[in-house]
Chain A
Amino acid sequence: MIDITRLENPYGDDKVFDACGIFGMMDTTGTRFSGHDVVTGLVNQTERGNGLGSGYAIYGCYPEHADCYAFHVMFTNPGNRPQVEARLKSEFVLVHAEEVPHHPTPELHDAPLIWRYFLRVDEQHPMVALLGELEYVVSRVMEINIAGMGAYIYSSGKNMGSFKGVGFPQQIADYFGVADYEGYIWTAHNRFPTNTPGWWGGAHPFGLLDWTVVHNGEISSYGANRRFLEMQGYHCTMTTDTEVMAYAADFLMRRHALPIELALKVLAPPLWDDIERMAPEEQALMRTVRQIYGGLLMNGPFTIILAHAGEMIGLTDRLRLRPIVAATSGSRLFVSSEEASIRLVQQDLDRVWSPVGGEPVIGRLGQPLSAVPAPPVARQQQPLPVGQL
């Protein structure tokens, strides 16, 4: 037998060490910036993925249509586009439609047709009066996604958009030219699919209205979470566990109007042991949250970056089974799987820390980052400048 290992891999290190990688950047003043640094940061973690998915969510990228819902629609069956468009026109006021600009890249395979539609809701529409505008939009998204037309609305917020596909971070960035867009929040993902197929719709970010999520890890409670959400009218169509996280965010914060800090306690609640040591009022609140929303507890290892208009949130599971590093520099907040990615794009950092499991890092538009709490363990002395011994 000829040992071909060394021929195919002269480094002899062909064990797969991948994990997903995530990277997020926000300017809390709302100043928009290009995707250049975001792509640089994510590409520096290329090692964490295997080319089966990457994507970027950009907030503030459609100022010319800021008051329109920007639907990004992936057509796995391009022949159905006229039918889908007719439906969108009957349900919304279509302001503008175009194919999402892209640059053909030979390395990328099976790229679906992707169009974007800028839509307004007709307030006189009887269904809008019945459901309310946001619920109306969500129900249209869900119905088209399950209609069997091979059309998937994977981005549906105002003045934001997700750009994703099957490829490495640099390939997907080049394909959509994401570095040419500008936004004040960027979240980005580099995928190593574990339990579910690598297809264009299954790449991250996942989103509904303007909530998006990028995720490193796996949601072992997916079945329970999906059942809970399906009873509330959500439909899981992207065949990837992370999808439930986006719908859970929509359910908890839009439909049930929970404050974000409490909603995050639903996703990653304190352990019963810790609850027992809390003050009585807090204990009662946490017990209530765990009882009412037990079906949305996200079990399993995860680090996520959630975002919606005006906020970017980093969160890990309660036991922090996936890595997270947060950092601030002036008005900029960074959340990343690896510190090196942050330092590569921003040399002068004010703070670098790893929040404990279940404790969110929240960047808010207009709120100074010095107000973001960091536990004692966050503090560090500045490392010596590069080159100084």
Chain B
Amino acid sequence: MASMETATLEIDATGLHYRQLNTQLREAVNRDGIPSIAIHNVYGQRYLGTDLHQPVEIHIHGTPGNDLGSFMDGPRIVVHGNAQDGCGNTMNEGEVIIHGRAGDVTGHSMRGGKIWVRDDVGYRVGIHMKAYQDKRPIIIIGGTAQHFLGEYMAGGVLMVLGLSLRPGEHHTASYIGTGMHGGTMYIRGELADHQLGKGVGRVPLDEADEHLIADLVHRYAAHFDRDAAEILDGSFIKLVPLSLRPYGRLYAY
């Protein structure tokens, strides 16, 4: 098996149904322990990265389908293209690095690991992501986000860098953090109060925040070949929930 550790398994996904492709991945990773895989010609195959239990790095060339890395527990996935909806759904551990944009509900119910998106994201990103003990999911978005960012967010870190905005342009997302009751958002750039959901407040950055931001920005810059110092030159807004039970009065009786 020693020779296997340096070789990259190349898979041509042309015409493969997601079940066939995921079966190949499971055999290569779980049975054969192949640590490096490149998949070419990916057009919409779903659930890539799910149910893999050995350390592996997978490079995806093309457009992976919905629920990329859903329930993923450890692998590192690099997408050379855009991701569709639901990337990182209920992901537990590992990393997804997207050299492009990602669709709606990226990081849906995420429990751990990191998602790095070079460009913009769609609606409801980070919806109901959560944290527990040492599990702390992190989503870093290089561009900007559409509405309902961090909806029902219960834990973890969501960071938006706004690098796709031109000078003078602002984030257009509204209903940011609607129903948020845990976790932290860091938004680089400006936000008007009406863009925030009810129950979300701005608080000053403390030293721990500054360290975390600097660390994540440096890693983002390394992934996507950007200038970290230039990004850190911008100002960051920290958003946290004002209540741990925003709907307590609505549903309790």
Contacts and interface: CB of A to CB of B under 8 A. Distances in A.
A319 B104 CA distance: 12
Interface in A265-314: 273-274, 277
Given A323-B85, A344-B43, A376-B169, A11 B143 contact: no
A320 B104 contact: yes
Do most interface residues of chain B lie in helix, strand or loop, or is the interface mixed?
loop
Contacts of B172: 356, 375-377
Interface stretch (A25-33, A75-83, A180-188, A378-386): A378-386
A259 interface: no
A318 to B, nearest CB: 10
Interface residues of B, number: 45
B221 to A, nearest CB: 15
B61 A387 contact: yes
B147 A320 contact: yes
A47 B104 CA distance: 18
A357 B122 CA distance: 11
B138 to A, nearest CB: 22
Classify chain A's interface size: 35 or more
Nearest to B19: A11
The 6 A-B pairs at the shortest CB distance, nearest first, are namely: A340-B44, A340-B63, A383-B100, A383-B81, A340-B43, A380-B119
B118 A323 contact: no
B80 A388 contact: yes
Contacts of B84: 323, 338-340
Interface string B17-56: 0110001000000000000000011111011000000000
B22 to A, nearest CB: 8
A383 B82 contact: yes
Contacts of B62: 340, 343, 386
Nearest to B63: A340
Interface of B: 18-19, 23, 40-44, 46-47, 59, 61-66, 80-82, 84-85, 99-101, 103-104, 118-120, 122-123, 143-148, 164-166, 169, 172, 174, 194
A354 B147 CA distance: 12
A329 interface: no
A383 B19 contact: no
Interface of A: 11, 13, 17, 44-45, 47, 273-274, 277, 319-320, 323, 325, 338-341, 343-344, 352, 354, 356-357, 375-381, 383-384, 386-389
Contact of B44 (A45, A357, A381): A45
B34 to A, nearest CB: 17
27 contacts: A11-B19, A45-B44, A47-B18, A319-B123, A319-B148, A323-B84, A338-B66, A339-B82, A340-B42, A340-B62, A341-B44, A344-B43, A352-B101, A357-B123, A357-B147, A376-B165, A376-B166, A376-B169, A377-B145, A377-B146, A377-B164, A377-B172, A380-B100, A380-B101, A380-B120, A381-B118, A384-B81
A365 B169 CA distance: 31
Contacts of B100: 380-381, 383
B119 A381 contact: yes
